[in-house]
A and B are shown apart, each in its own frame.
Chain A
Amino acid sequence: MDLPQAAAEHLGVIRRLMERATLYRALSAPTALLAGLLSLAVASAQIVFHGVPGRSGLEGGTAREQAIGFIAPWLAVLLAVALTSAWAIQREARARGELFVTSGMRLALRQMAPAFAAAAFFTVADLVAGGEPLGTVARWLLFYGLALLSTSVFAPHSLVALGAAFFGAALSFGCVRLFGYGPGPEVPGTVAAAWLMMSTFGFFHLVYAAFAWRGETLPPPTAGHD
């Protein structure tokens, strides 16, 4: 093999290794699509259910009962998305002959763990103390955004953009509340929170899924130098 050919081959090896090691998509397009669709479905159901007085049966309940009524369906969504994601990762890993837990996955989980732990802590606190649903959603936006942004060193641009969108939404919501704006007293807190979930977790995930799908279906890089 002559030197230029060897150089081109070495550059190809470097590129493949770097792409494999530096890019870890913690949220695949199908998983994001599922998350988006489930968020739209659950948020729509909550808007319909809690928007009509007397239908949910929670109006006269305690703040804690209302918090549980709002949060429980979203925990079910989280569980469904997490299980689907794990199944998809395992299937892909098996197809590539790789382990389920790769170094990329470990790194991503380690980076995201503090934000997810904080989200879990405040969610449990809201469940116990009966936190306001809008406040709960704002914290989910903030910590989910921070979790995704923490992977920015090795995540694809689309995932970082998704994190920035959630982080920006949380800050925007904070500003709106800070200046005294927000839903009027006639709108139940659970309904306002469901609208916020729909427009962020629902809409953002669907947009991300569209972009990620485009990226994931591109042909793999070739070994040659171009």
Chain B
Amino acid sequence: MFDFDRLDKTIHERGRLAIMTLLATRPDWTFSDLKTELSMSDGNLVTHLRTLHAGGYVAITKEVLDRPQTRYALTVRGRKAFNEYLVMLEEIVKSARG
């Protein structure tokens, strides 16, 4: 029987999982690109990003080019946690089939 407590609850929430997934695909993402790709409201996205940032999974960089822009990237810890989470999901699915 799989121990549910081993799953990272910060990532397991669907919205945060989607954010972590996108962040894992590129070096960094802007807020507007994340919003467009995930079709989330500003408030929802900000809340999830804050939670991930507080957990040490996401780094935030603010820059001002022609306009202020905030970029988000996975930290080393965040990438490790995401990879471990994926391995755990695979384990769950495999054990259910076996």
Contacts and interface: CB of A to CB of B under 8 A. Distances in A.
Interface of A: 3-4, 7-8, 10-11, 13-14, 17-18, 20-22, 99, 102-103, 106-107, 153-154, 225
27 contacts: A4-B92, A4-B93, A4-B95, A7-B93, A7-B96, A8-B93, A8-B96, A10-B12, A10-B14, A10-B17, A11-B86, A11-B89, A11-B90, A13-B18, A13-B21, A14-B17, A14-B21, A14-B86, A17-B37, A18-B21, A21-B21, A21-B26, A21-B37, A99-B36, A103-B30, A103-B36, A153-B26
A7 B25 contact: no
Contact of B89 (A10, A17, A20): A10
Q: Majority SS of interface residues in chain B?
A: helix
Nearest to B96: A4
Interface residues of B, number: 23
Contacts of B12: 10
Nearest to B32: A103
Contacts, number: 59
In this complex, which of B22, B37, B89, B90 has the most chain A Cβ atoms within 10 angstroms of its Cβ? B89
Contact of A17 (B4, B22, B92): B22
Contacts of B4: 3
B73 to A, nearest CB: 14
Contacts of B30: 103
Contact of B18 (A17, A99, A153): A17
A7 B37 contact: no
